[in-house]
């Protein structure tokens, strides 16, 4: 497959969107399997907390492989920074709006912690797997 030369913002957007879609798909599959094993809400909650970072890592790895194979990447640091900014703006904005419009104190805190963990994993996994390609 021939690699395409595209603007950095486009590659970063592709990386971010591919990561988010694949994390939703991977997460749904794993949660379905977990729900088939146990119907206990506590086990499902703990499983979700443990599995979420793994799912984000798998999604970023998949997305980085996709982007590395498909695009010419001259400066991977710019791609990682831009895609992380996209994540902060879109997902952080959504979570901020949800926090302001809800009254669930502990749920908002748990959601914020989960988002921060996902953001850190997204950034460092992207930094590791998005490579300079020619």
Question: Is residue 83 domain-resident?
Answer: yes
List, run by run, the mean pLDDT of 10-residue segments along the chain (134 residues): 91 96 91 83 74 90 96 96 95 82 69 84 97 92
C-alpha span between 85 and 78 (Å, rounded): 10
Three-state SS at 74: coil
* pLDDT value of residue 107: 62
Question: Is residue 107 domain-resident?
Answer: yes
The predicted model scores a pTM of 0.86
CB-CB neighbours of 79 under 10 Å: 28
* pLDDT value of residue 71: 96
95: domain range? Answer: 8-129
- Asked if residues 32 and 47 have their Cβ atoms less than 8 Å apart, the reply is no
Question: Is residue 2 domain-resident?
Answer: no
Question: Is residue 134 domain-resident?
Answer: no
* pLDDT value of residue 112: 77
Report the number of distinct structural domains present in the chain: 1
Question: Is residue 1 domain-resident?
Answer: no
* pLDDT value of residue 43: 75
Q: 2-25: buried (b, 16+ CB within 10 Å) or exposed (e) per residue?
A: eeeebebeebbbbbbebbbebbee
Three-state SS at 71: strand
């Amino acid at each position: 497959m021939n690699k395409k030369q595209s603007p950095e913002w486009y590659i970063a957007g592709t990386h971010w969107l591919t990561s988010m879609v694949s994390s939703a798909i991977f997460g749904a599959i794993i949660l379905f399997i977990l729900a088939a094993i146990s119907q206990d809400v506590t086990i499902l909650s703990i499983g979700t907390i443990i599995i979420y970072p793994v799912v984000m890592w798998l999604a970023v790895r998949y997305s980085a492989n996709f982007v590395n194979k498909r695009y010419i990447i001259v400066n991977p640091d710019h791609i990682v920074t831009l895609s992380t900014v996209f994540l902060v703006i879109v997902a952080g904005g959504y979570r901020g709006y949800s926090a302001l419009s809800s009254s669930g104190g502990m749920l908002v805190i748990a959601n914020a912690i989960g988002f921060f963990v996902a953001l850190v994993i997204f950034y460092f996994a992207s930094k590791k797997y998005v490579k300079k390609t020619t």
